[in-house]
Amino acid sequence: MAKTRPGIPTKTKTGKRDLESYTIRGTNKIVRVGDCVLMRPSDTGKPPYVARIEKIESDARNNVKVRVRWYYRPEESLGGRRQFHGAKELFLSDHYDVQSAHTIEGKCIVHSFKNYTKLENVGAEDYYCRFEYKAASGGFTQTELLCTANVRCLITRMISWYNVRGARTGIILLVWA
């Protein structure tokens, strides 16, 4: 794709054009590529889904779509929620999707765990992420090293977690990469 001047939408061959931002319907909040958003689920009994906007585009009829990368809650992952998961913990997945921009309910912030623990006031829009989640395999990759003063950090940046298939005890096998 050719470079464009800031503020000028990029036209694609199919009549679609890339947008720099989108104003959330019914609000004055503006979202941009890289922002994290709350997306309305089809089941109103569920909490909103959390996603990171990867692309915003409009078609010839001005229908705005967003390409998103989904965050999963622990209970949505293959292993389910465990005792050590935080209430506001999310996993950044390798699951991408295209959705109508009209399903965006609001903005949120997904912090690193380190930055989340430094927050003085945790708001309803604050979440944190420590792991990337491979949706197809159920595997995890650590996104940041978690070390305490008593633990020597001889861990490489990547630690893969795989659920032990068939284990009913909830034991997780650690595989060091």
CB neighbour list of residue 25: distance below 8 Å, 6 or more residues apart: 101, 102, 104
Percent of the chain with pLDDT over 90: 57
CA 83 to chain centre: 21
Query: Which domains are present in the chain?
Result: 10-176 (2.30.30.490)
State the pLDDT at residue 153: 38
What six digits make up the tokens of 88? 């506001």
State the pLDDT at residue 171: 38
Does the pLDDT at position 166 exceed 50? no
Does the pLDDT at position 56 exceed 70? yes
What six digits make up the tokens of 51? 């996603």
What six digits make up the tokens of 47? 């909490």
Lowest-pLDDT range of 4-8, 35-39, 58-62, 131-135: 4-8
Neighbours of 134 (CB within 10 A): 18
Burial letters 151-177, b for 16+ CB under 10 A, else e: eeeeeeeebbbbbeeeeeeeeeeeeee
Does the pLDDT at position 64 exceed 90? yes
176 bridge partner residues: 159
Average of per-residue pLDDT across 65-91? 93
Pairing of strands 17-18, 10-11: antiparallel
Q: How many helices (H) and strands (E) does the chain have?
A: 1, 13
Where residue 21 falls among pLDDT bands split at 50, 70, 90? very high
Instruction: Name the CA radius of gyration of the chain, rounded.
Output: 19
Does the pLDDT at position 155 exceed 70? no
State the pLDDT at residue 164: 35
What six digits make up the tokens of 132? 């990337």
Average model confidence (pLDDT) for the chain? Answer: 80
Q: Which amino acid is at 111?
A: H
Lowest-pLDDT range of 92-96, 132-136, 153-157: 153-157
Where residue 152 falls among pLDDT bands split at 50, 70, 90? very low
Spatial distance between the Cα atoms of 173 and 140, rounded to a whole number of angstroms: 11
Average of per-residue pLDDT across 47-70? 96
